[in-house]
A = this chain, B = another copy of it.
Amino acid sequence: MTEHSLWRFSRAFHRAINERQHEDLDALIDEDVQWAMYGPIDMFPFFGARHGKAAVLQVIRQIADNVRVRRFERESIMLGVESAASMLRYSLTMLDANKPISLRLAHFAQFKAGRLIRIRILVDTFDLVEQALGQPIHLPRLAS
A residues with a Cβ closer than 8 A to B are: 38-40, 42-46, 62, 65-66, 75-76, 78, 80, 83-85, 87, 94, 96-97, 104-106, 108, 120, 122-129, 132-133, 137, 139-144
Contact in complex: B66, A144 (CB < 8 Å): yes
Chain B residues with CB under 8 Å of A129's CB are 126, 137, 139
Nearest residue, chain B, Cβ from A42: B139
CA distance A45 to B122 in the complex (A): 21
Contact in complex: A120, B43 (CB < 8 Å): no
Chain B residues with CB under 8 Å of A38's CB are 104, 124, 127
Q: Nearest-CB distance from A53 to chain B (Å)? A: 21
